[in-house]
Amino acid sequence: MFQKQAMLKKNASSEKPAIIVKNVTKEFIIPHERKTTLFENIKGVFRPSIYETFTALKDISFTVEKGESIGIIGDNGSGKSTLLKIISRILKPTRGSVEVNGRITPFLELGVGFQPDLTARENIEVYSTIMGLSEKEIAKNIDNVLEFAGLTKFRDTKLKNFSNGMQVRLAFATAIQKEPDILLVDEVLAVGDIDFQQKCLDVFTEYKKKGVTMLFVSHDLGAVRRFCDKTILMKNGEMLAYGKTGDVIDRYVYGVDKSEAKPNIQKCDMQQSDEMSKSQDINQKLEKKDRWGNQKVVITAVQLMDKYGGENDKFNSGDPMRIRISFNAKDPIDDPVFGIAIYNDSNILCYGTNTDIQGLSLGTIWGNGIIDIAIPSLSLLTGKFLLTVAAHAKDHVPYDWHDKKYSFIVVSTNRVNGILDLRSEWIYGQQS
């Protein structure tokens, strides 16, 4: 078995690459005038139509070796699907070329080739025939395909009565009957429940072992990290990075280029703070919904810093995070307490602490200052989190309380469920 795999790898290295993409550019023509009525159409004959050219892919070049699993990540509209469509020849590039060496199975768009008026069983039969399966093979596979898709009960239901998710499951289960040389997959994991996702990942893992080349568009960075050897990062139609998956995901999450620096959305309302610090009335109270306190200490900025020291609002689970609180005390304040609390988006408190609880006494503060809280490993799972930052007196009288004013996103790579990533490990010992 191992010998066979070693042979496969050896052969793969001496063969031609599976995919060579050379200087591919894709432009779409977008008409600006919509002529819907007959009158508009007749009038339009005498007037030139207005078009705009939109460049969805800009001079993309890369090579995929046989047997490699490549992730393609990037924001919505960055060109990921267009790239897969060009590789699978659904779209033609405006410039550049694509060379594919091997039999390709594209799994890109919802139910392409499926007929809404045919039943699930009939669609499997038609699509499998197009794929080149014999009648005998189709008859043998049909129950397995329906079972894989979780649609056994719906074998005689017309496709038009299926939800989007059901259609994708059926299409995927049908497409994977025949092992391809190259599999292109666009976001299949997004449509299914956890069971279906696991089944897909099992298929991909099996394919990977067998040396199938895979290109895998996904917003599930965890799945990409677990599964892909290398990853392409797309942004506005350009290939920003192509390299080791971990490095490319870090680049996406943390945007290490200065040009990609995110706007500092975490700064608090400076105008409000300035007004308050200028205020003669030290006891002036803020009664805003998300901010209150007597302003003896004013929190002037809150910054979330990633492992590279840059400001960010997205973090990998398990990575370090540093929360920097800038403050101003117009008069000397004895023993202030600074605290933070993290909530998930269902308003569940995940973590709360303050300098007092952790035994840090700040003595007397006066003027401008900064205090950081360093979190060595952010043990949260995927989700959006809200952050409260507060300065208050030891007796809990609030100086400046910023209630869930800040937010950040955590991207997890583990498939465990819940809010927290406890990084657990199973240890199995058989009883004698």
Residues in touch with ligand ATP (CB under 6 A): 28, 30, 54, 56, 74, 76-82
Smallest distance from the beta carbon of 237 to ligand ATP, in angstroms? Answer: 7
Neighbours of 194 (CB within 10 A): 9
Nearer to ligand ATP, 110 or 282 (CB): 110
Among candidate residues 92, 97, 102, 96, the one with its CA nearest the CA of residue 68: 102
Smallest distance from the beta carbon of 108 to ligand ATP, in angstroms? Answer: 10
Nearer to ligand ATP, 77 or 116 (CB): 77
Nearer to ligand ATP, 18 or 56 (CB): 56
Helices 120-130, 164-175: axis angle to 10 degrees equals 40
| Buried/exposed 110-126: b ≥16 CB within 10 Å, e otherwise | ebeebeeebbbbbbbbb
DSSP string of 352-364, one letter each residue: EEETTTTT----E
Nearer to ligand ATP, 67 or 255 (CB): 255
Smallest distance from the beta carbon of 36 to ligand ATP, in angstroms? Answer: 18
Q: What angle do CA 40, 46, 49 make, to 5 degrees?
A: 70
Is 304 exposed, middle or buried (CB count within 10 Å of its CB: 0-12, 13-18, 19+)? buried
Smallest distance from the beta carbon of 261 to ligand ATP, in angstroms? Answer: 22
- What is the C-alpha to C-alpha distance for residues 189 and 411, in angstroms, rounded to an integer? 16
Smallest distance from the beta carbon of 75 to ligand ATP, in angstroms? Answer: 7
What is each CA distance from 233 to 74, 80, 97, 208, 343, in whole angstroms? 6, 9, 20, 21, 30
Nearer to ligand ATP, 148 or 252 (CB): 252
Nearer to ligand ATP, 85 or 291 (CB): 85
Nearer to ligand ATP, 79 or 222 (CB): 79
Smallest distance from the beta carbon of 7 to ligand ATP, in angstroms? Answer: 36
Coil, helix or strand at residue 143: helix
Smallest distance from the beta carbon of 91 to ligand ATP, in angstroms? Answer: 8
Coil, helix or strand at residue 333: strand
CB 107 within 8 A of CB 131: no
CB 204 within 8 A of CB 216: yes
CB 369 within 8 A of CB 326: yes
Nearer to ligand ATP, 17 or 74 (CB): 74
CB 213 within 8 A of CB 66: yes
Nearer to ligand ATP, 25 or 272 (CB): 25
Smallest distance from the beta carbon of 83 to ligand ATP, in angstroms? Answer: 7
- Structure tokens given for 140: 């043998």
To which residue do tokens 């008409």 refer? 31
Q: What is the DSSP letter of 197?
A: H
Smallest distance from the beta carbon of 415 to ligand ATP, in angstroms? Answer: 21
